[in-house]
Amino acid sequence: MLITEILYCGKNVKAVCDLNCDKAWGINLRPRVELSKNPDDYYWKMDNELGIAPKDTGSQEGGHGKPYKPTEHNKWCVRECERCMTFGLTEQIKLKDFNKRIYNIEPKE
């Protein structure tokens, strides 16, 4: 796990990820399955359904691209990486579990 304290939107927060950069596609490129005509109704495929992500996703954030095993988070990590999340300095850390489907809109049971 990598934790970097950063200034984000005027607040001090922790950027946290699982350091699985080889499985990071970016929020806009990670393969997904659309569930309806609503473009927001999808789930991201699980890690075991995907191969290794591209080293260069072709996306940039503030001049930063996807890093490979960073020692601290860059702008791409915080703004684009689906594996990186921000938390308040005292907030408990709970990262997304990419061993499960991650739904953008939780299905109705």
The string of pLDDT tens digits covering residues 97-108 is: 999 999 999 887
pLDDT at site 97: 97
CB 84 within 8 A of CB 78: yes
pTM: 0.89
Which residues of the chain fall short of a pLDDT of 50?
none
What CA–CA distance (Å, rounded) separates 105 from 84?
Answer: 19
pLDDT at site 94: 97
pLDDT at site 35: 95
What CA–CA distance (Å, rounded) separates 11 from 6?
Answer: 8
DSSP element (H, E) containing 85: strand 85-88
pLDDT at site 109: 67
CB 77 within 8 A of CB 67: yes
pLDDT at site 108: 77
pLDDT at site 72: 93
DSSP element (H, E) containing 77: helix 75-79
pLDDT at site 69: 82
